[in-house]
Amino acid sequence: MAALAHSVPLLCLPQGREQGLNADRVEAAGAGRILAADSDPTDIAAAVTAMIADPAYQRSAVQMAQRIAHTEGVAARLAEALLP
């Protein structure tokens, strides 16, 4: 989230728990790509190079940052509303 909040596209290498679901959403939004956690460094370098060369990833990451900024603090405000 922190990277996307700053308009940085992600190369996701999910390793378990909810990471795969989050990676799927990042990729579906066009703000990043997914590789296997055990990917070869050469494959990782190639993916990063391809992402840097394709401005669509940056545009999508900017859109995600705008969405995050729009909803920032919503969860905290909801939780605070529940306090006595």
Residue 62 belongs to domain with CATH number? 3.40.50.2000
Smallest Cα–Cα separation from 36: which of 9, 1, 12, 8? Answer: 12
pLDDT in the model for residue 81: 80
Give the separation between CA 24 and CA 30, rounded to whole angstroms.
10
Which residues are CB-neighbours of 3 under 8 A, at least 6 positions away? 9, 10
Instruction: Examine the pLDDT at 39 and tell me if it is beyond 90.
Output: yes
The secondary structure element, H or E, covering residue 18 is none
| Total domains, the chain | 1
User: To the nearest whole number, what is the mean pLDDT of the chain?
Assistant: 91
Range(s) of the domain holding residue 28: 2-81
Distance between CA 44 and CA 55 in Å, rounded? 18
Tens digit of each residue's pLDDT (9 = 90 or more) over 51-79? 999 999 999 999 999 988 877 666 667 77
Band of pLDDT at residue 2, cut at 50, 70 and 90 = confident
Tokens for 45? 């370098």
